[in-house]
Amino acid sequence: MIYFILIALFAAAAAVIFFNLYKRANRSLLEMQAQVQEKTRELELQSGMASRAGIEKLSTDLIFDNLAEAVLTVNTNLELLRMNAAARTMFPVKSLPVSLLEATGLLELETSVKKAFTEIMPVKNRLNIFKNGRQYIYAAAIIPLDTAAGKAAAVILTDLTRLHRLEQVRKDFAANVSHELRTPIQLIKGYTETILEQKLEKDELLHSIEIILKNAQRMEHLTADLLTLVSLEDETNSRPDMAEANISGLVLEAIQAVYPLALAKKTQITESCPSDLKAVVYGPLIVVALINLLDNAVKYSPPSSRVKIKVSADETAKDKTGTVLVIKVSDEGIGIPGEYQERIFERFFRVDKARQRTGGSAEAGGTGLGLAIVRHIAMLHNGSIEVESHAGVGSCFTLKIPLN
Ligand code: ADP
């Protein structure tokens, strides 16, 4: 019996000891697990931070390199330390550091950087840079930096060339429009005053009214052309989608529009266009372009001459872009002297300004905007407009529109 009791006590003690041992072992296992988890979390956090820092650095580098502005950092010895991609394109250097003046050749910029270091203040100025025979305008901002690694300056160069050019175009445009309107307005005013103040003979009266009417029409054409040009230039302007059109239909529409003028001058217009030629184009705009070309061909030719319009699909276009729609409008008119051939596509450019602006003569005509409109329409189709002309012989305008 005692034997059994001893065995039972021994077993109970062993169980308690074993249980305690198990509990301790379990606790240390749990502690170890917790410690491992803690460490893992710590490591995860660290590596997370490391990758976050990496991502931040990567994005800063990406932003730095993809900025449209050229950004350079310069030390107090006036040496370039860092350049982004735009800066490297502007000032190609073999290696860094390199002297700011040597890399950029801009004494003005060096002076501004020195000033920023001396005054410890941002410096702003405008730089005129001449490259490959062209003038570029840049806004320079130099910001002095005082970092743990030492003093430096960030130079930010913003290209204002395009903005400047657009501003100039806008000013010229406004000046040209007012200049163009001034002549017809003055003529209308002058002749109206004469009618009101003087007793005119019937013939004189009719002549005055005719001039008033012609100048009113001139202003009407000018405003219509201006509206067309502005709507073509406005990239945000919604226009109907390109659609497949029968080209000979568009040609006939244009011929019909200039028919009254051709009839008055006894000009013979002939056309040749494959009747089944179809293309995806802005149909109504092609008609506008053709009307302008045909109208000029008739206007700048003597009476009873011939004007031709010839359309073809050129499969073997030189530029290898695929099929090109080629429309040629040729005349036997006064022609365009070589020195003006580049300029006739500019807004308001006319070869014979004196004749065009007198307003009183029967030939008083164009707005000087027709070919600018044609060029815009060509550009909208990724195409081109070219001229071949000989003074006194005639002109041939070629409108090319890629179809693929
Ligand atoms: P405009 O309204 O004066 O005709 P355009 O822009 O259509 O304006 O043409 C610009 C200038 O180009 C004309 O003023 C004229 O001097 C010249 N020009 C255009 N087409 C012809 C042509 N077929 N023959 C001769 N000169 C032309």
Q: What is the pLDDT of residue 363?
A: 47
Whether the per-residue pLDDT at 133 is higher than 90: the answer is no
Whether the per-residue pLDDT at 22 is higher than 90: the answer is no
Which residue's C-alpha comes closest to atom 13 of ligand 1?
350
Q: What is the pLDDT of residue 35?
A: 58
Mean pLDDT of the chain: 85
Residue with tokens 């056309």: 271
Query: How far apart are the C-alpha atoms of 91 and 98, rounded to whole Å?
Result: 11
Whether the per-residue pLDDT at 2 is higher than 90: the answer is no
Q: What is the pLDDT of residue 168?
A: 87
Instruction: Break the chain into its structural domains and give their ranges.
Output: 66-159, 164-402
- According to CATH, the topology of domain 66-159 is Beta-Lactamase (3.30.450)
* Residue 289 Cβ contacting ligand 1 at under 6 Å: no
Q: What is the pLDDT of residue 237?
A: 67
Instruction: Specify burial of residue 257 (Cβ count, 10 A radius: 0-12, 13-18, 19+).
Output: middle
Contacts by 137-140, CB closer than 8 A, 24 or more apart: 137/161, 137/164, 140/109, 140/112
Which of 133-137, 155-159, 326-330 is the least confident region? 133-137
What lies within 8 Å, CB to CB, of 345 at 6+ separation is 371, 372, 374, 375, 385
C-alpha 388 – ligand 1 centre gap (Å): 13
Give the pLDDT band (50/70/90) at residue 49. low
137-190 pLDDT, tens digit per residue, is: 999 999 999 877 788 999 999 999 999 988 988 888 888 889 889 989 999 999
Where does 81-201 have alpha helices with state H?
85-90, 100-104, 107-119, 161-197
Give the pLDDT band (50/70/90) at residue 61. confident
135 beta partners: 130
329 beta partners: 309, 397
Q: What is the pLDDT of residue 170?
A: 85
Which of 4-13, 182-191, 292-301, 361-370 is the least confident region? 4-13
* Residue 293 Cβ contacting ligand 1 at under 6 Å: no
Report the CATH architecture of 164-402: 2-Layer Sandwich (3.30)
* Residue 374 Cβ contacting ligand 1 at under 6 Å: no
- How many CB atoms sit inside 10 A of residue 198's CB? 11
* Residue 344 Cβ contacting ligand 1 at under 6 Å: yes
DSSP symbol at 267: P
Q: What is the pLDDT of residue 206?
A: 95
C-alpha 110 – ligand 1 centre gap (Å): 50
Which of 128-132, 146-150, 262-266, 354-358 is the least confident region? 354-358
C-alpha 360 – ligand 1 centre gap (Å): 19
Q: Kind of pairing, strands 70-75 and 384-390?
A: unpaired
DSSP symbol at 300: T
* Residue 333 Cβ contacting ligand 1 at under 6 Å: yes
Whether the per-residue pLDDT at 5 is higher than 50: the answer is no
Say how many CA atoms lie within 13 Å of 161 toward its Cβ. 11
Q: What is the pLDDT of residue 375?
A: 95
What lies within 8 Å, CB to CB, of 142 at 6+ separation is 112, 113, 115, 116, 122, 123, 124, 153, 154, 155, 156
Positions of E strands within 278-355: 278-281, 306-314, 324-331
Q: Given ligand 1 and candidates 229, 305, 344, which is best to mutate, with the most ligand atoms within 8 Å of its CB?
A: 344
Can 66-159 and 164-402 be said to share one CATH topology?
A: no
Element (H, E) at 229: helix 202-233
Give the pLDDT band (50/70/90) at residue 27. low
242-265 pLDDT, tens digit per residue, is: 899 999 999 999 999 999 999 999
Read off the pLDDT of each residue in 30-45 and give the average, rounded to a whole number: 58
Q: Which two tokens stand for residue 57?
A: 């650095």
Phi and psi of 370, rounded to 5°?
-55, -50
Which residue's C-alpha comes closest to atom 19 of ligand 1?
296
* Residue 291 Cβ contacting ligand 1 at under 6 Å: no
179-224 pLDDT, tens digit per residue, is: 889 989 999 999 999 999 998 899 999 999 999 999 999 999 999 9
Read off the pLDDT of each residue in 268-275 and give the average, rounded to a whole number: 96
Which has the closest alpha carbon to 79: 56, 103, 58?
A: 103
| Rounded CA Rg of the chain | 40
* Residue 336 Cβ contacting ligand 1 at under 6 Å: yes
Whether the per-residue pLDDT at 15 is higher than 90: the answer is no
Which has the closest alpha carbon to 173: 233, 243, 126, 132?
A: 233
pTM of the model: 0.65
Q: Kind of pairing, strands 70-75 and 79-83?
A: antiparallel
Q: Kind of pairing, strands 394-402 and 324-331?
A: antiparallel
Whether the per-residue pLDDT at 322 is higher than 90: the answer is no
Distance of CA 275 to the CA centre of its chain: 36
What lies within 8 Å, CB to CB, of 161 at 6+ separation is 135, 136, 137, 138
* Residue 356 Cβ contacting ligand 1 at under 6 Å: yes
Q: Which amino acid is at 96?
A: L
